[in-house]
Structure 1
Amino acid sequence: MIRHLVLFKLNDGVTRDEPRVRAGVRAFEELGGTIPELEHWECAWNITDRPIAYDYAINSAVADVDALKRYIEHPAHQAAAAQWREFATWVIADYPF
């Protein structure tokens, strides 16, 4: 199994309640039931307010590197990520477990 973690930081001046941010969250929430390669999917807003904290997180799992590639290339994933590019930056980590 491969764990795929993504942490998002909203750009300066962007708030969680903006329509484009809410649409981006909805797009990610829907991915878990859309992309068959996803064996585990959860996403949520960070609940702590610390200077080093990121704002939003995705914790997911796929079977192997090939499944990860298919997930990343899936049109629904690409569309959701494109929304977030407009208002956030992010870091990822992919590791076997």
Structure 2
Amino acid sequence: MIRHLVLFKLNDGVGRDEPRVIAGAQAFRELDGLVPELEFWECGWNITDRPIAYDFAINSAVADGDALTRYIEHPAHQAAAGQWREFATWVIADYEF
């Protein structure tokens, strides 16, 4: 299994309450059950306010590297990630467990 973690940081001046941000978060929530490769899926807003904190997180798992590639290339994932490119940056970590 591969754990796929993503941490998003909203760009300066962008708020969680903006319609485009709300739509972006909803697009990621909707991936649960939509992308067959996802064995585990959760996402949500950070609840702490610390200088080093990121704003939004995805914690997911897939069976193997091929499944990870299919997930990343899935049109629904590409569409959701495309929305976030307009207002955030992110870091990822993929590891086997």
Deviation at 1:33, TM superposition (A): 1.3
| Structure-2 separation of matches of 1:47 and 1:8 | 13
Matches within 5 A, 1:1-97: 1-97=1-97
Partner letter of residue 53 of structure 1?
A
- Secondary structure (helix, strand or coil) at the match of 2:7 reads strand
SS in 2 for 1:44: strand
Q: What percentage of residue pairs aligned between the two structures are identical?
A: 85
Q: Runs in 1 of length 4+ with deviation above 4 angstroms?
A: none
Normalised TM-score (structure 1): 0.99
Deviation at 1:79? 0.2
* Alpha-carbon distance in structure 1 between the residues aligned to 2:63 and 2:33: 16
Superposition TM-score, scaled by structure 2 size: 0.99
Give the superposed CA RMSD.
0.3
Residue correspondences, number: 97
Structure 1 spans left out of the alignment, 5+ residues: none
